[in-house]
Amino acid sequence: MDSREFGNRAFWVVVTLCALSVGADLFYHKHGIYPAEEWIGFHGVYGFVSCVALVIAAKGLRRIVKRGEGYYD
């Protein structure tokens, strides 16, 4: 199996698992503290947005703490 085929198959496995987890969200009652926590797929979307925000913040922080190439020599 070549890497492109494996990548496509892995992508569709992840998409299927995500769809199943959001679908499972329809079949139980949620007891959230805030009304938004009872939305379908809220925690998945919240986690994804948080992860993207952390990556963007890390890219910005890199500009602040980055050292020159010969700094540790």
Per-residue confidence (pLDDT) for residue 73, from 0 to 100: 75
Distance, in Å, from the CA atom of 25 to the CA atom of 49, rounded to the nearest integer, reads 19
The residue ranges of every structural domain in the chain are: 3-65
Per-residue confidence (pLDDT) for residue 49, from 0 to 100: 95
User: CA angle, corner 66, sides to 64 and 72, nearest 5?
Assistant: 145
Distance, in Å, from the CA atom of 10 to the CA atom of 71, rounded to the nearest integer, reads 40
Distance, in Å, from the CA atom of 42 to the CA atom of 20, rounded to the nearest integer, reads 14
Give yes or no for residue 1 having a pLDDT over 80. no
Token pair of 33, please? 């503290």
pLDDT digits (tens, 9 = 90+) for 40-69: 888 888 999 999 999 999 999 998 898 888
